[in-house]
Structure 1
Amino acid sequence: MAKVELVNVSHSYDPPETPESERKWAVRDLSVVWEDGSANALLGPSGCGKTTLLNLISGLLPSPTKGQILIDGTDVTGLTPRERGIAQVFQFPVIYDSMNVFDNLAFPLRNEGTPEGEVRSKVREVAKILDLEEKLKIHSSRLNPADKQKISLGRGIIRESTAAVLLDEPLTVIDPKLKWGLRRKLREVQVSLQKTMIYVTHDQHEALTFADDVTVVRDGELVQKGSPKLLHDDPENPFIGYFIGSPGMNVLSCSLDDIGLNCGPFSIPVQDAELRDLLQDAQGDLELGVRPEFIEPHDCADDSGCVPFRISVVENTGAYRILTLTNGDVQIKARAPENFGPREGDTIGVHFPERGVKLFEDGHRLV
């Protein structure tokens, strides 16, 4: 187990002689700490630098262009993967199809010269954790991708010296029917062994259901880090608001007027005096953010304090409905109960409760 820390890490794949002003940065000035024994996710859209970060931590990329990588406070920048004690699980299972499950799991230990009695004991222990006990004599080529990925994980955790396990989009090639079970097993293994794990994904659902702490990156830069609840309830900027949540947060450009927040074709009343004072002092561009579950749709368009919206799309999820609503050139999503009566084409009233509204100035959270 180990604490993993990045200190002002930047990385460019350009040749060393490239002038700094002309470099393209895959990662830029990123500092983050993943605590000892923690379950973490590194989340962001494709091409944002996630895999580069993982390869820098593991040592597959020997050292960043700038910055330091620390493991348990020790600077490992420039050390080999073996010297760092980092295990990495890739998108595609890395195993030997010519070997059975037992020999695949035993390989890292035998490679270190571990006595065979200890190898057998450790393999059985790891196989039990991964639900592979009944498959130890089966050739790996006969297994489904989910079981092959379990072997990849087992090869990473079987050594006591493993400081941290890095998982690079490990469910990419897994059949959707098997994904839930494998993700649950990954989490069970992390809890059982208390190993530091960093799970890289572009899928917010995978990140939020696996990790206690989520680090969101965009264009190689840290955007926000925190618990799934913190990212959902208190996004630092509109990107986090929209990226986290399904559907994501509604984000509308707005300005202050006599009624409250002017969103173009309508205004949302602001009753709170302190909030009005804060908005009056704002110098930058304002945006309003409100999650679909906080918007309150009403059957009647004339309800007091409501804004009229037309229902353009109704998506029935079973437990609730997702409404796509339009007013002029503004379109928002709202969540309604399954028994909500109005249909597509109807006009309804929408209330924006202040408790559910977030405000951003120049892309940063104001309140």
Structure 2
Amino acid sequence: MARIDLDLAHSYVPNPRTDEDYALLPLQFTFEDGGAYALLGPSGCGKTTLLNCISGLLRPSHGTIAFDGRDVTVATPQARNIAQVFQFPVIYDTMTVGENLAFPLRNRGVPEAQVRERVGRVAEMLDLSATLDRRASGLAADAKQKISLGRGLVRQDVSAILFDEPLTVIDPQLKWQLRRKLKEIHHEFRLTLIYVTHDQTEALTFADQVVVMSRGKAVQVGPADALFERPAHTFVGHFIGSPGMNFLTGQWRDGAIELAGRRYMPELSPSVEAALREAGSFRIGVRPEYLRLAPESDAQAVPVRVERAQDIGTYWLLTGGVQEAGALAGTLRARLGIEAADLRLGDTAWLSVFNRHTCYYVNEELVP
């Protein structure tokens, strides 16, 4: 395995002049040896471009890539000793499952005894043991993709294993099992794994560190709890979570937060208070999970006009509009308990927006 150091940017446009010309904005980042990482973001945000730069399929237009301190910016994928698993199966249909798994090892002259031992171990982990002697051409797409995963995992000498949305063709139930398997394999072998996905569930359950990307930029890197509790950017708050974080616009006036025509004085650290005072206008972010129904007398509660109360089974999802001078000033979604069952369309509900989980954003970035 290898430590991978990136200091790069990439544009498909000659002589780029603006940020919009870049598929990858300038990025400095290190993938530590033995770490499990996910590149998470919507389609077109630069995830696959970054992965292809790491693998050597694409040379970055600016900057360098180093493996264990060795500059590999112009090196081929073979010279970088990378294993890559793609979105769709890449296998030999004329070979058996076992022969497919063994091919990367035999191609490198690994002794046959080691080949059999390694193939058997990986096949057992991916539940392929019963099909080792079957020809791959007769298997379903999800079974073929499991073989592709196995071909990527079977080698022990690689610098890193790269996954480009490898579970796209996998049945939803099998996806859950394979994510768990990959996690187990990482813990056992301590491989350096980099996993591209647009699915937050895949990223947060697989990776120790998630790189959240938007428009060619890495907007936050961290573990799942940090991305959920303290999104560093409003994009992260919106993208992570189901539903995503609620955002309302507030102003600082006369020593208090003004929101939808009402004044609030929540407990703020001196640094946050100073930042909000200086900004004047800012955004208030709070997760649906951290909103609670409150009495009208609660000084930290915001009134909303109930637009919908849905019974999801394990919780109720309340959607309410924040009103200001008779106009809609924002929308709040709250995950509530059975107490929401009594709410009706048009009712006024009071939600405790200001609490220890509330985040504040100036220019879309978290106020620390």
- Provide the residue aligned with 1:33 in structure 2: 30
Question: Sequence identity of aligned pairs in percent?
Answer: 45
Q: Which whole-Å deviations, capped at 9, do the CAs of 1:323-361 have from their partners, x for residues lacking one?
A: 111122121111111353323312222222331211111
Distance in 2 separating the partners of 1:273 and 1:207: 32
Matched, 1:53 2:47: no
- d(CA) in 2 for partners of 1:217, 1:112: 36
Distance, in Å, in 1 between the alignment partners of 2:173 and 2:365 is 39
Q: Which runs of 5+ in 2 are unaligned?
A: none
CA distance in 1 between partners of 2:87 and 2:331 (Å): 37
Which one-letter code corresponds to 1:41 in the other structure?
A: A
Indicate if the aligned counterparts of 1:259 and 1:268 stay in contact, CA closer than 8 A.
Answer: no
Please say which of residues 282-291 and 270-279 is displaced more in the overlay.
Answer: 270-279
The alpha-carbon deviation at position 205 of structure 1 amounts to 1.2
Asked if the contact 1:3/1:72 (under 8 Å) is kept, the reply is: yes
Deviates further, 238-247 or 343-352 = 343-352
- Contact 1:214/1:226 (CA < 8 Å) preserved in 2? yes
Do structure 1's residue 308 and structure 2's residue 312 form an aligned pair? no
**Cα distance in 2 for residues equivalent to 1:307 and 1:159:** 57
Q: How does 1:97-136 map to 2 (within 5 A)?
A: 97-136=93-132
Query: Structure 2 CA distance, aligned partners of 1:273 and 1:21?
Result: 40
Are the counterparts in 1 of residues 145 and 169 from structure 2 also a CA contact under 8 Å?
no
Give the SS at the match of 1:186: helix
Give the CA deviation at 1:249. Answer: 0.8
Code of the aligned partner of 2:34:
G
Cα offset for 1:104? 0.5
Confirm or deny: 8 A CA contact 1:237 1:365 kept in the other structure. Answer: yes
Q: Aligned pair in 2 of structure 1 residues 318, 115: CA closer, same or farther (>3 Å)?
A: same
Contact 1:315 1:321 in 2 (8 A): yes
Q: Which residue type is aligned with residue 159 of structure 1?
A: R
Q: Is the 8 A contact 2:122 2:150 kept in 1?
A: yes
Please say if 1:317 is aligned against 2:312.
Answer: yes
Distance 1:338 1:186, change over 3 A: farther
What is the match of residue 348 of structure 1?
349
**Match of 2:121, SS?**
helix
2:302 maps to a residue whose letter is V
CA contact (8 A) 2:316 2:341 kept: no
Contact 1:156 1:162 in 2 (8 A): no
1:323-334 mapped onto 2 (5 Å cutoff): 323-328=318-323, 329=328, 330-334=330-334
Deviation, structure 1 residue 212:
0.9
Letter in structure 2 aligned against 1:336: L
Distance in 2 (alpha carbons) for counterparts of 1:133 and 1:280 = 60
Corresponding residue of 1:364:
365
Q: Deviations along 1:173-215, whole A, 9 cap, x unmatched?
A: 1122221112111212111211010111111111111111111
Residues 276/235 of structure 1: CA separation in 2 closer, same or farther (3 Å cut): closer
Amino acid at match of 1:11: H
Q: How far apart are 1:159 and its partner, in Å?
A: 2.1
**How do 1:207-246 and structure 2 match up within 5 A?**
207-246=203-242
Q: TM-score, normalization: structure 2?
A: 0.91
Q: Kindly tell me: are residues 117 and 221 of structure 1, through their superposed partners in 2, closer, same or farther at Cα, counting changes over 3 Å?
A: same
Q: Distance in 1 between matches of 2:28 and 2:272?
A: 36
Written as runs of structure 1 = structure 2, the 5 A alignment for 1:1-367 is 1-7=1-7, 9-14=8-13, 18-21=14-17, 24-61=21-58, 63-258=59-254, 260-272=256-268, 274=270, 277-279=273-275, 281-283=277-279, 285-298=281-294, 302-305=296-299, 306-328=301-323, 329=328, 330-345=330-345, 346-367=347-368
Aligned length: 360
Decide whether the 8 Å contact of 2:23 with 2:49 is kept in 1. Answer: yes
Distance in structure 1 (CA, Å) of the matches to 2:177 and 2:153? 19
Q: How far off is 1:171 after superposition?
A: 1.2
Q: How far does residue 113 in structure 1 lie from its aligned partner after superposition?
A: 3.0
Structure 1 residues 176, 272: CA separation in 2 closer, same or farther (over 3 Å shift)?
closer
Asked if structure 1 preserves the Cα contact closer than 8 Å seen for 2:316 and 2:337, the reply is yes
Specify the SS of the correspondent of 1:297.
coil
Q: Distance in 2 between matches of 1:338 and 1:38?
A: 42
C-alpha distance in 1 between matches for 2:349 and 2:271 = 28
Whether the 8 Å contact between 2:266 and 2:354 is mirrored in structure 1 is no
Q: Is the 8 A contact 2:229 2:357 kept in 1?
A: no
Contact kept? 1:285, 1:362, Cα under 8 Å? no
Could you tell me the TM-score, scaled by structure 1's length?
0.92
- Aligned-residue Cα RMSD (Å) equals 2.0
